[in-house]
Amino acid sequence: MVSGSILSLTLFIFPEIFSRYIINRPEAAEYVRITGILIFGTTLFTTLNQAFIGLNRSENTSLAMVTQALTKLVIGVGLVILGLGIYGAVIGHSISFLLGFSVGILLMFKLLSFDDGGESGGVGILDLIGFGFPVYLSNIIISGLQVYRNYLFSIYTTDAEIGNFTAAINLSIVVIIFVNPIILTLFSSFSRLDKVDEIDVIKVLFNYSIKYSSIIILPITLFISIMSEEVIYLFYGAGFRSAPIYLVLAVAPYLFIGGGIWIINSLLNGLGETRAILKMYTLSLIISIPLYLILMQRVGVLGVLASMLIASIASLIYGLYYIDRNYNLKIRIYEVSKIYLVAGISALAIYILKNTLAITSPYLAILIYGSSYLAIYTLLLPLIGGLTINDVDRLESTFTTVGFIGSPVILILRMWRRLCELLHD
C-alpha cells in the first residue's frame, strides 16, 4: 500500500515528466495526474479486499468488486457518451475504485461492529509471510506487465487504437461482473478445507466450481463475441471501428473457463499454494515480454491481445499440471462438455439468425438476439442433463451474496428450476 501511495503522489505532482519521457505523450499530462488518483484508489481498494479475504469474508469482497466493475462500466461509458472522451473514461475508471472502496469501508465497519472478539487462530508471522509474499510478487508481475504494455502502446500504436483497446477492455468487464461472485465464493470454500484430510471434498467442490462457472460465463462470452459490433456501437458509437475485433479477443480467455482458468487460482489461493500462483504468473511474464514486443510490431493491438490470450493458456496448462501432480485433481470433461455443446449450439443458432434477419438497429438486435439466445440456452441445458435442481440451488446461494446485482441470474435460475421440475415430473 505504501509503494502504491508513493507512486500515486509522484504521478500527481510530476505528471509532465511521466507523460513526456515514459509514455511519449506530452499532451497527456492531465490524464497522468488523474491516473495518480486512480492508483491511490486502486491501492486502497485492493488492500481492503485482501483484508476481507484474510477474514474469510469473500461475500464482502465480491460485493465491493462487483460494485467497482459495474460503476466503471456505467460511469466510464456514460461520460464518454456525454462527449468527455478519454478524459471521461479515465475519470470513470478512477471514480469506480473510490466508490468500490467506499462500499468496502462500510462493509468493514459493519463487520467490525459485530466482531465477537474471538481468537484469530494462532497463525504465525512466518506463515503469514510465506502465504502473502508470493501474492505480493504476483501482483507486482501483473502491474508490471500492464506498465510494459502501455509503454509499448506509446511507441508502436496511435491514440485512436489505444482508445479502441480501452473500449474493448472496459466492455469485457461485463463478464468479470459475473465471474467475481463465483471465484470469491470458491476461495472462501477452499480455504476452509484441509488439503490432506478433506481432499475428496476438494475434488468434488473443484469440479462443481468449474461446472457452475461454465454455465454462467460461457453463454455470456459467446454472445458478446457474436454481437461485438452491436455492443461496441451501443456503448461507444460508430467511431471505434477496431474495437469489435478487440472485444472478441479480450473476452476469449473466458472461453477456457471449462478448463479451470481462474478457478485454479482460487483453488490454489484457498489451499495456501501461493507459490504455485507465483509460478503461473512468472510463466505468463516470461511469455508476455517477448510476445508483446514481437506481435505488437507486426499486427499492433491485435498482437497484444493475442499475447495476453497465449500467456493465459500457458498459465492454465501449468496450473492443471500442478494440481494433477500434487492433488490428483482432474476435470470431469464429460459434464463440462454438455455445457460447451449447449452454449455452442445456441451461439450457432444466433449467428445464423443474425445473418438471416440482418437487423440494422444495434439496440433492437441485442434485444432480439439476446432474448433468443437466452431462450435456446435456458431450454436446452436442462434437456440434455447439463443442469439439475441441486445445481440450481448451489448457484442461487452463490449469487444471493451480491444483492441486486445477482438478481438477473437468480431470475434465470428460477426458470431453470421450473424446467427441471417439469422434466422430472
Say which DSSP state 281 is in.
H
Enter the C-alpha cell of residue 353.
Answer: 439468425
The pLDDT of residue 16: 74
Can you give the pLDDT at residue 53? 60
| Cβ count within 10 A of residue 339 | 26
Query: 317-337 as b/e, with b when 16 or more CB fall inside 10 Å?
Result: ebbbebbeeebebebeeebbe
Q: What does the alpha-carbon distance between residue 263 and residue 13 come to, in Å, rounded to a whole number?
A: 40
pTM for the model stands at 0.75
pLDDT in tens, 13-39: 767 777 776 666 676 676 677 666 666
Nine-digit cell at 213? 462457472
Write out pLDDT tens, residues 188-231.
Answer: 666 677 777 788 888 888 888 898 889 989 999 999 999 999 99
The answer on pLDDT for 244 being more than 50 is: yes
Confidence of residue 130 (pLDDT cuts 50, 70, 90): low
In the numeric block, which cell numbers belong to residue 358?
440482418
What is the arithmetic mean of pLDDT over 65-72?
Answer: 74
Band the pLDDT of 118: cuts 50, 70, 90.
Answer: very low
Q: Residue 80's CB: how many other CB atoms inside 10 A? A: 24
- Residue 70 CA to residue 124 CA, distance in Å, equals 38
Give residues with Cβ within 8 angstroms of 288, minimum separation 6: 145, 148, 307, 308, 311
DSSP H stretches of helix in 227-273: 228-236, 243-251, 263-270
Please tell me the total number of residues recorded for the chain in this structure: 425
Q: Per-residue pLDDT tens for 328-365?
A: 999 999 889 999 999 999 999 999 999 998 888 988 99
The pLDDT tens digits for 277-309 are 899 999 999 999 999 999 999 999 999 999 999
Element counts in the chain: helices (H) and strands (E)? 18, 0
Q: CA torsion angle for 397, 192, 134, 206 (degrees, to 10)?
A: -60
